[in-house]
């Protein structure tokens, strides 16, 4: 006897799985109510259903710009079909609602809601156009994926849409072609597109680790220090080559630090005071901390510059290089282990273990070649305005200069962020150009 492929889960087999069934004597129907949102619509809807002994298997209700849609997957007695329709119409028409009932005649012995989505596609941009969504929809269809539902997830500082889809083959690794096709669309459409597996795997992320320079903050700390030594251009050129993966990070770091020899140690605090956070960084860290996430920064920069910032942002973990200081001057050397590619990944694993988490529950965000190992090791790796070497291996890429986008990729809506900010008085939006 031929055995079914465990990687394939056709709809027929999914619906045959154990589930709550209709009570004896009931037939399935989908009841839909739509119209202008008003108080009392839901109450009247369920009051009428209750009068006819209706069983509920699934309910979805949404409100969009003052318009309501309420749908219920139900079990109804045959003799009540016509009377129920009339009763719903009579009760809800005065409230401005239209009523539709779709009676199901097939598979009445095992009526069950459609299977839940296998993946989530997040689209971020300013603007997001109908053309972009059309192209994404066509790509999904070409690869056998079906759009189940979508919702807005952000209206600031970018427009964000969350699209729930079911792929033809949900087995791990089976959707890589789709992932690659969506990644190809990003440059053509001018939007960021992320796809990840839906369900518990997505919601289980509990630790977020950020690179610092050009990720959590806008600049490169070593270049800021070099500016005080009058060697900014020289150091910037070495930094760029290292970020592109053309130079070994440790060697490039030591070469750049040599340029700082003789600087007064007070310059370190001056640079720390001059640091500018990436737009959305405070919101992102504040939101993650509120939700109980563990947060971390791992930097190829310098601990003396980051300590105050890490405390201010309430980071749980911080790791960076240590500048050697003697007699109040920088020596041009670093002390101890250099935080390179391998070290960043090792620190992420250390943080996860200390937090009692698996690596699948981690998120890493970075921008350069030095972040490759960390991004690869994380459960979700996000390339933030990154160099090509990192974009190629990351799970998803962000091309807009707002760290909030990481929250949206993780499925945290802007409305919930803003509600919490208003409650504690931290709500603030900067006008967009």
Whether residue 264 is found in the same domain as residue 393: yes
Give pLDDT, residue 2: 37
Q: Is residue 45 situated within a structural domain?
A: yes
Question: How far apart, in whole angstroms, are the C-alpha atoms of residue 46 and residue 51?
Answer: 9
Whether residue 261 is found in the same domain as residue 374: yes
Give pLDDT, residue 174: 80
Whether residue 181 is found in the same domain as residue 212: no
Which of 38, 73, 103 terminates a domain? The answer is 103
Task: Output the domain CATH number for residue 149.
Answer: 3.30.70.260
Which of 79, 103, 127 terminates a domain? The answer is 103
Question: How far apart, in whole angstroms, are the C-alpha atoms of residue 340 and residue 335?
Answer: 14
The mean pLDDT of the chain is: 90
Domains in the chain: how many in total?
3
Q: Is residue 153 situated within a structural domain?
A: yes
pLDDT at 126 over 80: yes
Whether residue 218 is found in the same domain as residue 323: yes
Helix, strand, coil shares, percent, the chain, to 5: 40, 25, 35
> Cβ distance 382 to 375 under 8 Å?
yes
Whether residue 225 is found in the same domain as residue 89: no
- 211 catalytic per annotation: yes
Question: How far apart, in whole angstroms, are the C-alpha atoms of residue 291 and residue 288?
Answer: 5
Whether residue 255 is found in the same domain as residue 225: yes
Q: What is the pLDDT of residues 355-406, one digit of tens each?
A: 999 999 999 999 999 999 999 999 999 999 998 889 999 999 999 999 999 9
> Cβ distance 201 to 287 under 8 Å?
no
Residue 349 burial (C-beta neighbours within 10 Å; 0-12, 13-18, 19+): middle
How far, CA to CA in Å, does 403 sit from each of 42, 227, 274, 302, 377? Answer: 38, 26, 19, 21, 21
Whether residue 156 is found in the same domain as residue 89: no
Q: Is residue 409 situated within a structural domain?
A: no
Task: Output the domain CATH number for residue 224.
Answer: 3.40.50.1000
Q: Is residue 412 situated within a structural domain?
A: no
Categorize the per-residue pLDDT at 307 as very low, low, confident or very high, splitting at 50, 70 and 90: very high
Which residue of the set 37, 192, 211, 340 is catalytic? 211
Whether residue 280 is found in the same domain as residue 304: yes
Which residue of the set 192, 213, 316, 404 is catalytic? 213
Whether residue 241 is found in the same domain as residue 316: yes
Q: Is residue 189 situated within a structural domain?
A: yes
Q: What is the pLDDT of residues 309-319, one digit of tens each?
A: 999 999 999 99
User: Rounded to the nearest 10 degrees, how much is the dihedral formed by the CA atoms of 163, 169, 174, 179?
Assistant: -20
Give the angle subtended at the CA of 51 by the CAs of 46 and 52, to the nearest 5°: 100
Question: How far apart, in whole angstroms, are the C-alpha atoms of residue 323 and residue 338?
Answer: 11
Among candidate residues 408, 352, 430, the one with its CA nearest the CA of residue 151: 408
Which of 70, 103, 136 terminates a domain? The answer is 103
Instruction: Give DSSP secondary structure letters for 232-282.
Output: HHHHHHHHHHHHTTSS-HHHHHHHHHHTTTT-BTHHHHHHHHH--BPTTHH
Give pLDDT, residue 3: 39
Look up residue 14 and give its two tokens. Answer: 């999914």
Structural domain boundaries, residue 41: 24-103
Q: Is residue 192 situated within a structural domain?
A: yes
Q: Is residue 11 situated within a structural domain?
A: no
Whether residue 77 is found in the same domain as residue 179: no
Dihedrals phi, psi of 354, to nearest 5 degrees: -65, -30
Contacts of 77-83 with CB under 8 Å at 24 or more apart are: 77/25, 77/26, 77/27, 77/52, 77/53, 78/25, 78/27, 80/52, 80/53, 81/27, 81/29, 83/52
Whether residue 252 is found in the same domain as residue 360: yes
Q: Is residue 140 situated within a structural domain?
A: yes
Whether residue 376 is found in the same domain as residue 243: yes
Question: How far apart, in whole angstroms, are the C-alpha atoms of residue 317 and residue 355?
Answer: 11
Q: What is the pLDDT of residues 1-30, one digit of tens each?
A: 333 343 444 444 444 567 788 899 899 999
Q: What is the pLDDT of residues 26-70, one digit of tens each?
A: 999 999 999 999 999 999 999 999 999 999 999 999 999 999 999
Give pLDDT, residue 11: 41
């Amino acid at each position: 006897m031929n055995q079914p492929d465990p990687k394939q889960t056709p709809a027929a087999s999914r619906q045959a799985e154990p589930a709550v069934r209709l009570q004896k004597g009931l037939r399935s129907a989908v009841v839909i109510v739509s119209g202008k949102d008003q108080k009392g619509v839901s109450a009247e809807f369920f009051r009428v259903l209750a009068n006819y002994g209706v069983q509920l298997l699934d309910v979805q209700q949404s409100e969009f710009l003052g318009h309501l849609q309420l749908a219920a997957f139900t079990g109804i007695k045959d003799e009540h079909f016509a009377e129920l329709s009339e009763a719903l119409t009579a009760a809800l028409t005065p409230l401005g609602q239209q009523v539709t009932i779709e009676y199901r005649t097939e598979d009445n012995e095992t009526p069950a809601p459609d299977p839940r989505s296998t993946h989530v596609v997040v689209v971020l941009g300013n603007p997001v156009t109908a053309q972009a969504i059309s192209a994404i929809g066509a790509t999904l269809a070409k690869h056998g994926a079906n759009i189940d539902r979508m919702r807005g997830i952000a209206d600031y500082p970018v427009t964000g849409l969350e699209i729930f889809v079911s792929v033809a083959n949900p087995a791990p690794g089976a959707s890589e072609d789709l992932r690659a096709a969506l990644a190809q669309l990003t440059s053509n459409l001018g939007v960021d597109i992320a796809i990840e597996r839906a369900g518990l795997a997505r919601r289980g992320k509990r630790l977020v680790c950020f690179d610092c320079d050009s990720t959590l903050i806008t600049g490169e700390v070593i270049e800021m220090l070099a500016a005080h030594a009058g060697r900014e251009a020289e150091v910037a050129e070495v930094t760029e080559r290292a970020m592109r993966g053309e130079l070994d990070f440790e060697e490039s770091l030591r070469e750049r630090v040599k340029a700082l020899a003789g600087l007064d140690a007070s310059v370190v605090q001056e640079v720390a005071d001059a640091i500018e956070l990436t737009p959305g960084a405070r919101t992102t860290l504040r939101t993650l901390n509120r939700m109980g996430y563990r947060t971390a920064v791992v930097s190829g920069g310098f601990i003396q510059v980051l300590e105050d910032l890490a405390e201010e942002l309430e980071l749980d973990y911080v790791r960076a290089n240590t500048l050697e200081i003697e007699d109040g001057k920088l020596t041009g050397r670093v002390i101890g282990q250099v935080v390179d590619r391998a070290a960043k990944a090792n620190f992420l694993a250390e943080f996860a273990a200390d937090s009692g988490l698996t690596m699948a529950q981690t998120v890493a965000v970075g921008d350069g070649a030095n972040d490759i190992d960390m991004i690869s090791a994380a459960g979700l790796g996000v390339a933030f305005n990154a160099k090509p070497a990192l974009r190629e291996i990351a799970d998803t890429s962000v091309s807009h200069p707002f760290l909030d986008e990481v929250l949206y990729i993780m499925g945290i809506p802007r409305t919930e962020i803003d509600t919490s900010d208003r409650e504690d008085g931290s709500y603030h939006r900067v006008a967009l150009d």
